[in-house]
Structure 1
């Protein structure tokens, strides 16, 4: 499943986009995921989704999503938002569910019926669904739609939440026998609360797979005078469904995760090869050697490539847009590279770990260089921006040619801490340079 780079746009550019055309659809959503405090535009699968921030001047706004929509195209637009919220719910480990929508010539906020949300609030630029999987298969789309529905109903209406999670699996089989066989085969893979509930049912002599179908799925979906149902007025029925819900939810999660192979943000962090965008820079043979922990001489092919260094989500750092890459060493699948600007006044060091598919920033060995050219104020500001933003847990991104950006691991300082904001530290570095430069250029005799 594709997990491409997902641009996130914040600030004035978002407002410019929202005022650049007429025709918008806004969907109000109930959400349990941290929602952005300010508007953010997420470019996902070829469309721009505007997650409207909860801060609207001095007022608090409900979460909603806006998408461009021509008059007459409402069904297509809201269908895109449904699909977007399905994968976003799974990816972020919560729910984002559409409660209603409005169309207008301007991107107005949703003002329909009040919806329940249990969201936290993300910072001004902290909302991040980068590399969220692209859902192209129809069966995967359906499974995620039922998952989103189940997550929204969980702890609100246990019976219908159970049915939604059951449909995650049921929707993937045309043969009821094979569906039952899959459920039976995976019950023993459950852990924690789900495993405890399975043990309780088995201790009572219950066939768990059959129980989930007869006393769960069918009892919720159907009602007859003499048949088994979940009676909303009988506390025992409600308690039984609530206790069984954890089993059904975990089975649905396992199916999406293991059978459909849809990554969420946590599994994406563990599994994604950050260096994949640079695969074309080396031969397949060299790549395989590095991934196997080798030290091939041919990594020198990386030398000479031009790299732009930026910070997510703001893009390139002024002054670091054209850095030349040089390979310094290779050992056990790890390549040490240095990036140097054209004037050879800034040097930055990185480690490309092909064994784990990650890239690490080495702040200790980088810095400003005094050679044929002397660092300028712009050089000082560029380097200080990189250093202090990364030191403050910012995500450095390296872009080579037309390839997607390669994101570095977050730096976790050890026995070090910032005593001021990154912005203040950058300003202080520039001010020190100005003062030192002024003293050096002062023609008056210096005190001894």
Structure 2
């Protein structure tokens, strides 16, 4: 984005009216459906649109007054529920490609893409625009649900429920317990990252040898159920501290499960395979020629 003098616009939050200056299409009246979000990734300060499954979706920027989000001017034949489902699925794809969580705070809409007012003014990470040179869209229903669970888990500000959501990805990718256990035993030693290594060391120091079983019994089951032992007690800070330390293990396994089971690569995997170089050529050649 450039100003009236041709200079690049700074990355800073603008007022509500600025988005209409750059995107007059947002002033077109119709049946607008909007999802107001609270992202954990940087969000644009200028509007942009893209074609997603044959429909024009708008990125609604963060403004001084309103929540950011996504919107669609739905055609008459599309129901509101269908429009919301499309926006949710787009957010899940966007969250996966940006390695972040995106929480839907409110739903809004009307004859114009009206967003809900902000209840905070600071703490946001900003960017000019998203790179939509290539936007993925899995065809498999389970893959779509897996991305939705990842978006939710990464956006949750609750350790135990985030742990459970990540574990649901594992169960979705490997429904059979025996297959899941075998896969986990192969993947766990290959996980990298300082937080992962710290978690593995803590578990080893406690004399636990079967890491996968420990995560299942002391994590997944202890969070989901209150009838057995162990149980995660919200009033016990030791449980919260342990789950916080072990959360990276189940998070990274969920990422690997989506890659291994559904073939959806992370940005780092695409970088290792040099797929980002192909994306650059796509931008040069253009969608029509490709």
TM-score when normalising by structure 1: 0.55
Is 1:212 paired with 2:215? Answer: yes
Closer, same or farther: CA 50–396 of 1 in aligned 2, 3 Å: closer
Say whether the 8 Å CA contact 1:162–1:216 is kept in structure 2.
yes
Aligned to 1:38: 46
Closer, same or farther: CA 52–273 of 1 in aligned 2, 3 Å: closer
Unaligned stretches of 5+ residues in structure 2: 1-18
Aligned-partner Cα distance in 1 for 2:231–2:151: 25
Aligned-partner Cα distance in 1 for 2:81–2:283: 39
Closer, same or farther: CA 116–252 of 1 in aligned 2, 3 Å: farther
Say whether the 8 Å CA contact 2:173–2:258 is kept in structure 1.
no
Deviation of 1:171 after TM superposition, in Å, equals 1.2
Aligned-partner Cα distance in 2 for 1:255–1:69: 34
Aligned to 2:200: 198
Aligned to 1:92: 98
Deviation of 1:274 after TM superposition, in Å, equals 5.5
Aligned-partner Cα distance in 1 for 2:123–2:179: 37
Closer, same or farther: CA 152–181 of 1 in aligned 2, 3 Å: same
Of the three residues 246, 249, 261, the one matched with 1:247 is 249
Aligned to 1:24: 32
Aligned-partner Cα distance in 1 for 2:276–2:199: 37
Say whether the 8 Å CA contact 2:20–2:27 is kept in structure 1.
no
Aligned to 1:234: 236
Of the three residues 67, 73, 80, the one matched with 2:72 is 67
Aligned-partner Cα distance in 1 for 2:152–2:131: 22
Aligned length: 268
Residues 333-365 of structure 1: CA deviation (Å, up to 9, x unaligned): xxxxxxxxxxxxxxxxxxxxxxxx976xxxxxx
Is 1:163 paired with 2:164? Answer: yes
Unaligned stretches of 5+ residues in structure 1: 1-9, 276-356, 360-394, 405-448
Does the residue aligned with 2:284 lie in a helix, a strand or coil? Answer: strand
Deviation of 1:12 after TM superposition, in Å, equals 6.2
Residues 23-54 of structure 1: CA deviation (Å, up to 9, x unaligned): 00111101022211111112223222111122
Aligned-partner Cα distance in 2 for 1:117–1:146: 27
1:302-321 equivalence runs, <5 A:
none
Residues 313-333 of structure 1: CA deviation (Å, up to 9, x unaligned): xxxxxxxxxxxxxxxxxxxxx
Aligned-partner Cα distance in 2 for 1:148–1:11: 29
Residues 414-440 of structure 1: CA deviation (Å, up to 9, x unaligned): xxxxxxxxxxxxxxxxxxxxxxxxxxx
Deviation of 1:117 after TM superposition, in Å, equals 8.7
Closer, same or farther: CA 13–120 of 1 in aligned 2, 3 Å: closer
1:270-419 equivalence runs, <5 A:
270-272=273-275, 397-399=284-286, 402-404=288-290
Aligned-partner Cα distance in 2 for 1:264–1:210: 27
Deviation of 1:158 after TM superposition, in Å, equals 0.5
- More helix, by proportion: 2
Task: Work out which structure has the larger RCO, using CA pairs closer than 8 Å and 6 or more positions apart in sequence.
Answer: 2
Does the residue aligned with 1:198 lie in a helix, a strand or coil? Answer: helix
Is 1:119 paired with 2:124? Answer: yes
Aligned-partner Cα distance in 1 for 2:27–2:253: 45
Point out the structure with max Rg over C-alpha: 1
Residues 391-419 of structure 1: CA deviation (Å, up to 9, x unaligned): xxxx972349x413xxxxxxxxxxxxxxx
Is 1:137 paired with 2:136? Answer: no
Aligned-partner Cα distance in 2 for 1:35–1:99: 15
Aligned to 1:14: 23
Deviation of 1:173 after TM superposition, in Å, equals 2.5
TM-score when normalising by structure 2: 0.82
Aligned-partner Cα distance in 1 for 2:233–2:225: 11
- More strand, by proportion: 1
Of the three residues 112, 116, 122, the one matched with 1:110 is 116
